[in-house]
Amino acid sequence: MSAVPGIVAVNTFREAVRDRVLYNLIVFALMMIGASVLVGEISIGISRLVIINLGLSAISIFGLVMAVFIGVGLVYKEMEKRTLYCLLAKPVRRWEFLIGKFGGLVLTLTVNTFFMALGLGAALYYVSREFLRSDAMIVIAIYFIVLELALVTALALFFSCFSSPMLSTLYTLGIYVAGFFSGDIREIGMVTHSPAMQTAARAISYLLPNFRNFNVIAAASHGDAIPFSLIWQNTAYAALYVALALIGASAIFSGRNLK
């Protein structure tokens, strides 16, 4: 495997960092701690639960917004500003470039999530002055959020290989929402009496990225155990889907005439 994707990834990460995106995190972390102080004061007893729910949801939403909005621009910006011209004249294959871009954003999002998780940890410690054994589930929940963000990034990258950032954003968010309801799509299919519709609904529901898989926020806030097998299954699921999106993106992007 060549070193090219790694080099591109580091540069992408550097771009994101210099874009001051990461500095919003400090603001976020502070806000989290501030909010939790407030919550801790009004709701004795469930303050931990509220902080975990609030914190994990915020990390997930914040990361999602970043993944989509930076993700759809990753390739587009380099095409639009023609910075790709110089890069592609170097010994760089287009798929290596794509993987590098993907890796760079996932790296950014991971660092991002890490800092936000620290904020959450601080808030949690502030209200309860202790960490519980079951708080390990929060770490797993955060890991799942990172997996989810990687998947969203890959989808955003895929769409941006053949459509404008506006449309790519719409497509990505559309798939995200549809992916969240993929279970419901199957059940709606069951309600119809046409076997063809049922099969179609089943197929669609299994092929859409199922974002519910990654959502264990409720379990984490209650400190419920998450089975180990779910960890590797979700990891494999995200890896397969990311591979799928990146292969699709490469197939399209490799043949594209850049403007």
Partner 1 sequence: MSTPAIEIEGLTKDYPVGFWRQRMHRSLDHLTLQVQDGEVFGFLGPNGAGKTTTLKVLMSIIFPTSGSARVRGKSIDDVSMHREIGYLPEQPYFYDYLTARELLDYYARLFGFAASERRERIIRFLERVGLGGAADVQLRKFSKGMLQRVGIAQAILHDPQVIFLDEPMSGLDPVGRREVRDIIHDLKREGRTIFFSTHILSDAEMLCDRVGVLVGGKLQGVGAPREIVSMEVYAMEILFETPEGHPLPNSLAKSATQVGGRYRAEVPEDQLYPVLDELRRCEARILSVTPLRPTLEDYFFKLVARDKSAPPQLVEVGAR
Partner 2 sequence: MSSRSHSRALWFALVAIPALFIAIGFLQIRIEAETRTVGQQKEELLLRSGLLLKRWSLGYDSLLGDIYWTRAVQYYGARVGHPGEKFVLLSPLLDITTTLDPNLIVAYRFGAIFLSEPMPTGADRSDLAVELVKKGVAANPNSWELSSDLGFLYYWHLKDYEKAAAAYLQGSKIPNAPSWMKMMAAQVSEKGNAFSNSLAIWSELYETTQNEKVKKNAFQHLQSLRALQDTVELNKLAEQYRKQHGGYPSSVKELYDRGLLQGVPLDPAGFPYGFGADGKAQLDPNSPITLPKISESPTE
Which chain residues interact with partner 2 by CB under 8 A?
53, 57, 93, 95, 183-184, 187-188, 206-207, 210, 212-213, 216, 218-219, 222, 224, 226-227, 229-230, 233-234, 236-237, 240-241, 243-244, 247-248, 250-251, 254-255
Q: Helices (DSSP H) in 81-164: which residue ranges?
A: 83-88, 94-128, 136-160
Task: Determine which residue in the list 32, 68, 92, 217 makes contact with partner 1, applying CB under 8 A.
Answer: 92
Q: Which of residues 210 and 250 has its CB atom nearest to partner 1 in the complex?
A: 250
CB 109 within 8 Å of CB 66: yes
Q: At what angle do helices 47-80 and 23-42 cross, to 10 degrees?
A: 160
Q: What string marks each residue from 12 to 41 as x (binds partner 1 by CB under 8 A) or -? A: --xx--xx----------------------
* CB 81, min distance to partner 2, A: 23
Q: Which of residues 28 and 214 has its CB atom nearest to partner 2 in the complex?
A: 214
H or E, element range at 56:
helix 47-80
The overall longest dimension of the chain from CA atoms, in Å, is: 62
Q: At what angle do helices 94-128 and 4-18 cross, to 10 degrees?
A: 50
Measure the CA–CA gap between 102 and 77, rounded to whole angstroms.
14
Burial class (CB within 10 angstroms; exposed 0-12, middle 13-18, buried 19+) of 99: buried
7: contact with partner 1 by CB under 8 A: yes
In which region does residue 194 sit, left (phi positive, over 0), alpha (psi from -120 to 50) or beta (all else)? beta
Q: What string marks each residue from 176 to 215 as x (binds partner 1 by CB under 8 A) or -? A: ----------------------------------------
> Among partner 2, partner 1, none, what binds residue 4 when CB lies within 5 to 8 Å by partner kind?
partner 1
Q: Which of residues 159 and 241 has its CB atom nearest to partner 2 in the complex?
A: 241
Residues of the shown chain interacting with partner 1 in the complex, contacts defined by CB under 8 A: 3-4, 7, 11, 14-15, 18-19, 81-93, 255, 257-258
